[in-house]
Amino acid sequence: MSKAFTPSAAKPGVITANDLREGHNVWMCEDGWTADPAQATLFEDEAIAELALLKAIGQSNIVVGPYVVEARRGPEGPEPTHFREAFRQTGPSNYFHGIQAAKQAEASNV
């Protein structure tokens, strides 16, 4: 597990967890949780992030193990700064599985 991270304006962060029923990675967004990390809320304020984390912990019937982790502002939305989070946002490198596959499936359905 990543060490506890405190976001700031210089080093913003996102809140992430696993979905309780299915296990996949999710990120906290405006209206709940999303499987698309680019939709995640970017926290720049320590106090606001702490409140949001408490809220996430309170949603233990939806998600498991929420934590705050560093992210940077990208053109599409928050981007991971550490390779562990990058893998969580794509999926394993040996197969095209996980979020990378889910995204493609979604794209081909539009």
Residue numbers of the site for other proteins (CB under 8 A)?
Answer: 1, 18, 20-25, 60-61, 64-65, 81-84, 87-88, 91-95, 97-99
Residue 17 and residue 52: Cα distance in Å, rounded?
13
- For residue 108, the minimal CB distance to other proteins (Å) is 18
Nearest of 24, 30, 37 to residue 85 by alpha carbon: 37
- For residue 22, the minimal CB distance to other proteins (Å) is 5
| Nearest to other proteins of 25, 41 (CB atom) | 25
- For residue 46, the minimal CB distance to other proteins (Å) is 22
First vs last Cα of the chain: how many Å apart?
A: 36
Q: Report whether 44 contacts 52 (CB < 8 A).
A: no
